[in-house]
């Protein structure tokens, strides 16, 4: 049995539940193609779905998804991937489906089971794998959302742990596989100059914006069951907060990182209704699958506090939404102004004080803003940004990185049971008890009530892509 350098045996097959779905078509098959080109995918890929497809239809579906994601620049690699595919058709509630899967796996003994299926089916498939004896030395990869509130997350964790050990459960959040997100962790702890100022004494506030300039794209029925708070903030944005706010890990290893991230979620103050502004873009109720009187939020902004020694009293402002002015993701860590204003033009009223800005998408960059004097006798200056990092060529796609890691048994980019439950505990109070959503115009930055939320501590930083200077 071949093992990794850490002594962990890699998976010898990938089982893809929901192989006929959108996620597999748009994301997973292009990722598998990239892995095949890299020479890291050589194991069978067994697709499972209810569609009565032939193997030829599955191969056509896979090639179509890969072709739509980008040019096919390595035909031999594509042919190798297609040759690895197997297919099992059946109902996830039928034990015969899992018996057919066991037969399709043949001699594979350490499969990785990827649940690219609706969350309502997670428990059914996990229990089906257990009953069929398909879990010994196996792993399970679970797509978000992992639960829809604290109670359901706890129940799903209980079911998963009743079948798989915790270190064999890989809760996937594709955001954690992005290069720019990984760089937050690296940038913080690979540089010593940040640590003295990375605390309540020097940081005034932190803003995180994840905006999209499009609507729900005919996924109204899904959004009615989720909403922006569940869909984006409780997972993607909270993970960014954890990387920014965590303490230095005590040792090298993803276990130490997971521990420190979990502590951040546990220190977050549970949200109350007045901490949250919900919005809904005009026209959302006309989307297919959306209730005519829907109050579901397509925009959410919130004020968050982390009751820890490092961050006590520092407000964190998070927002995300559909149909906003830009598609972008940025973090702005605003520093407090100097204690004495020696120069009139450097007063906070003239603009933001120094800050550190992480551009996460559509391109990645890290920038530090500082004031620089203009030439001349007067003590007048301008605030300029120093770029420390920009987009790098050859970045690995998030799903390819996460699949490779999961099959290798590397849990560094996945979330742990205690962190999932602690994050849900923060948002649980406002999932049902909240103010009504406010309408906003598509192409804006959301409802004006979000501006009022942040007003006591300044204003929102709006990512303006066209005005980015290098």
Q: Which residues face 114 on adjacent strands? A: 16, 141
Residue 232 burial by Cβ neighbours in a 10 Å radius (0-12, 13-18, 19+): buried
Q: H helices of 347-442, where? A: 398-408, 417-432
List the one residue out of 155, 199, 187 whose CA is nearest residue 313.
199
Q: How far is CA 297 from the centre of its chain?
A: 19
List 61, 174, 236, 461, catalytic entry: 236
List the one residue out of 442, 440, 446 whose CA is nearest residue 459.
446
C-alpha distance from residue 461 to each of 9, 117, 279, 352 (Å):
46, 36, 18, 10
- Catalytic residue at 236? yes
For residue 466, the number of C-alpha atoms closer than 13 Å in the C-beta half-sphere is 2
299-305 vs 315-321, strand pairing mode: antiparallel
Which residue in this structure is represented by tokens 């043949």? 106
Q: Other C-beta atoms within 10 Å of 247: how many? A: 14
Q: Which residues face 206 on adjacent strands? A: 316, 333
Q: What's the first-to-final CA gap in the chain, in angstroms?
A: 50
Asked if 438 contacts 296 with a C-beta cutoff of 8 angstroms, the reply is no
Q: At residue 172, what are phi and psi to the nearest 5 degrees?
A: -95, 135
Which residue in this structure is represented by tokens 């989307």? 287
Q: DSSP 3-state assignment of 311?
A: coil
Q: Which two tokens stand for residue 329?
A: 């993701």
d(CA 307, CA 263): 10
Question: Nearest 10 degrees: CA dihedral of 289, 295, 299, 305?
Answer: -140
Task: Catalogue the active-site residues.
Answer: 236
């Amino acid at each position: 049995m071949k093992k990794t350098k850490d002594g962990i045996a890699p998976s010898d097959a990938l089982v893809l539940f929901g192989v006929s779905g959108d996620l597999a078509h748009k994301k997973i098959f292009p990722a598998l193609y990239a892995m095949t080109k890299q020479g890291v995918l050589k194991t069978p890929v067994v697709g499972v779905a209810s569609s009565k497809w032939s193997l030829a239809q599955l191969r056509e579906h896979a090639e179509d998804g890969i072709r739509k994601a980008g040019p096919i620049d390595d035909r031999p690699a594509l042919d190798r991937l297609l040759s690895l595919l197997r297919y099992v058709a059946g109902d996830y509630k039928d034990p015969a489906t899992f018996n057919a899967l066991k037969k399709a796996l043949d001699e594979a003994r350490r499969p990785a089971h990827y649940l690219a299926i609706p969350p309502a089916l997670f428990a059914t498939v996990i229990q089906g794998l257990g009953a069929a004896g398909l879990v010994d030395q196996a792993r399970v990869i679970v797509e978000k959302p992992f639960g829809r509130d604290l109670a359901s997350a706890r129940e799903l964790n209980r079911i998963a742990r009743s079948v798989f050990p915790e270190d064999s459960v890989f809760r996937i959040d594709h955001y954690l596989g992005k290069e720019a997100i990984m760089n937050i962790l690296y940038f913080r702890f690979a540089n010593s100059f940040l640590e003295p100022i990375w605390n309540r004494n020097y940081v005034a506030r932190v803003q995180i914006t994840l905006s999209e300039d499009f609507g729900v794209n005919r996924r109204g029925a899904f959004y009615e069951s989720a909403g922006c708070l569940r869909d984006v903030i409780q997972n993607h944005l909270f993970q960014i907060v954890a990387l920014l706010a965590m303490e230095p890990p005590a040792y090298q290893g993803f276990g130490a990182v997971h521990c420190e991230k979990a502590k951040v979620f546990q220190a977050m103050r549970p949200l109350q209704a007045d901490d949250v502004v919900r919005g809904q873009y005009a026209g959302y109720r006309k989307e297919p699958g959306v209730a005519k009187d829907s109050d579901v939020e397509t925009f959410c902004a919130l004020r968050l506090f982390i009751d820890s020694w490092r961050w006590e009293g520092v407000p964190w402002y998070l927002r995300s939404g559909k149909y906003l002015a830009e598609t972008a993701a940025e973090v702005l860590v605003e520093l407090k102004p100097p204690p004495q204003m020696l120069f009139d033009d450097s007063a906070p009223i003239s603009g933001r004080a120094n800050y550190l800005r992480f551009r996460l998408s559509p391109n990645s960059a890290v920038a530090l803003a500082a004031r620089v004097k203009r030439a001349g006798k007067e003590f007048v200056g301008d605030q300029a940004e120093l770029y420390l990092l920009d987009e790098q060529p050859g970045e690995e796609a998030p799903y390819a990185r996460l699949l490779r890691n999961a099959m290798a048994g590397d849990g560094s980019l996945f979330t742990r049971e205690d962190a999932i439950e602690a994050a849900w505990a923060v948002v649980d109070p406002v999932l049902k008890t909240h103010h009504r959503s406010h309408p906003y115009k598509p192409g804006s930055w959301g409802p004006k009530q979000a501006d009022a939320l942040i007003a006591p501590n300044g204003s929102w930083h709006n990512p303006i892509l066209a005005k980015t200077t290098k």
